């Protein structure tokens, strides 16, 4: 968990994840047999083993904006990248790739419907005061904070997922021929995950992402343990793989929740169709959207999430 402050300070918009990729590669050096950044920018790690080939896919990208136009009154019009909920963007601070806060998202509309209703106010009254140009990228940024057993922040869910896997990689004792893919461009069609899976051609792929309490169609709750997704709009998890995951969690006394979705899902579950077919599952960290863009993650869930994934990957 100590890595979260470092991770949240690294700019990682889809297509611009290189700084984060370099950090992840550096942090895992010495704990794996191979590590490199592929052509698309994915971080690929390998810990050699004699068993089946297992791929752990962990998305790393954040959401944000491109500057599409500078208005005559020196405001920045924006185009979204990723899963943007535009009506929740008002008043949010944005930073550039150097990490500098350069503006606030504002609107002159009474009702925000899409990106066209928003602009970035740079506090500028002349051209020289505008610190961006058309084509530059921005990211919403707020520091995470802790209250009681929960952590809160705009990107606390994504950052804790990554932090957990850095810890997991340092505590592995597995027979699997294990690959890790910290995948890029996950929120623009999971392009990184699909290309990496095609290249690695694993027997099994486990994607480790996030499941949200707020979705109407689920019973997911914070402080109730790891989320095992068994169905979504893209996949029904193979029963043998599902049973193996649940058995490992139960044997290691890891609390878990089953998730069944109809209208939502990760398009990277299309990994299962690659090559001659890849057994695919999702093991997720539960989170909650606590208002605006603030997310909540429970510290006990974080601990059990790490414990559960180590149990699934390791020997026995």
Pick left, alpha or beta for residue 82 (phi over 0 → left; psi -120 to 50 → alpha; otherwise beta).
left
Q: What confidence tens digit (pLDDT) does each residue in 23-33 have? A: 999 999 999 99
**Contact (CB, 8 A) for 11 and 19:** yes
pLDDT score of 289? 83
Q: Which of 26, 9, 43, 50 is nearest to 184 (CA)?
A: 43
At 140-189, the pLDDT tens digits run 998 999 999 999 999 999 999 999 999 999 989 999 999 999 999 877 76
| pLDDT score of 243 | 96
Tokens 């005559």 -> residue = 72
Assign domain 4-62+155-313 to a CATH class. Answer: alpha beta
| Statement: the pTM of the whole predicted model exceeds 0.85 | yes
CB count within 10 Å of CB 243 equals 11
Class of domain 64-140: mainly beta
- Which residues, at least 6 apart from 128, have a Cβ–Cβ distance to it below 8 Å? none
- Single out the residue of 17, 12, 20, 14 nearest to residue 3, CA to CA: 20
Residue range(s) of every CATH 2.40.30.40 domain in the chain:
64-140
Q: What pLDDT score was predicted for residue 275?
A: 72
Q: What is the mean pLDDT of each run of 10 residues along the chain (316 residues)?
A: 89 96 97 96 96 95 94 96 88 95 94 92 94 96 94 94 96 94 84 87 93 82 96 86 96 96 66 78 90 87 97 85
Instruction: Concatenate the DSSP letters of all residues of the chain into one string.
Output: -TTHHHHHTS--BTT--HHHHHHHHHHHTTTSSEEEE-TTS-EEEEE--SS-EEEEEEE--B-EEEEEEE-TTSEEEEEEESS--GGG-TT-EEE-TTS-EEEEEE-SSSS--SGGG-EEE---SSGGG----TT-EEEE----EEETTEEEESSHHHHHHHHHHHHHHTT---SSEEEEEEES-GGGT-HHHHHHHHHH--SEEEE--EEETT-TT----TTS-EEEEEE-SS-B--HHHHHHHHHHHHHTT--EEEEE-SS---GGGGGGGSTT--EEEEEEEEEEEEETTEEEEEHHHHHHHHHHHHHHHS--
The residue among 133, 234, 144, 253 whose CA lies nearest residue 189 is 234
| Confidence at residue 240, expressed as pLDDT on a 0 to 100 scale | 95
Distance CA 26, CA 122 (A): 35
Decide if 122 contacts 130 (C-beta within 8 A).
yes
């Amino acid at each position: 968990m100590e890595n979260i402050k470092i991770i949240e300070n690294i700019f990682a918009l889809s297509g611009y994840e290189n700084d984060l990729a370099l950090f992840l590669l550096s942090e895992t050096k010495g704990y794996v047999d191979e590590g490199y950044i592929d052509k698309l920018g994915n971080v690929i790690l390998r810990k050699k083993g004699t068993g089946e080939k297992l791929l752990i896919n962990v998305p790393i990208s954040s959401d944000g904006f491109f500057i599409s136009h500078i208005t005559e009154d020196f405001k920045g019009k924006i185009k979204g990248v990723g899963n943007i909920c535009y009506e929740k963007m008002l008043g949010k601070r944005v930073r550039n790739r150097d990490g500098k806060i350069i503006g606030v998202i504002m609107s002159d509309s009474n009702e925000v419907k899409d990106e066209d209703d928003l602009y970035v106010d740079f506090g500028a009254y002349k051209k020289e005061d505008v610190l961006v140009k058309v084509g530059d990228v921005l990211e919403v940024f707020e520091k995470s904070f802790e209250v009681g057993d929960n952590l809160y922040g705009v990107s606390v869910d994504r950052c804790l997922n990554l932090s957990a896997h850095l810890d997991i990689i340092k505590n592995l004792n597995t027979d699997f021929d294990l690959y890790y893919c910290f995948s890029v461009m996950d929120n623009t069609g999971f392009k990184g995950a699909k290309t990496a899976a095609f290249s690695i051609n694993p027997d099994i792929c486990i994607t480790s992402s996030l499941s949200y309490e707020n979705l109407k169609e689920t019973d997911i709750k914070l402080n109730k343990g790891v989320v095992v997704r068994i169905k979504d709009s893209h996949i029904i998890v193979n029963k043998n793989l599902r049973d193996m995951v649940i058995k490992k969690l139960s044997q290691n006394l890891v609390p878990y929740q089953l998730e069944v979705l109809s209208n939502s899902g990760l398009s990277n579950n299309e990994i299962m169709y690659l090559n001659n077919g890849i057994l695919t599952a999702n093991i997720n960290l539960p989170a909650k959207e606590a208002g605006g863009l603030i997310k909540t993650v429970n510290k006990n869930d974080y601990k059990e999430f790490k414990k559960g994934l180590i149990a699934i990957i390791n020997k026995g």
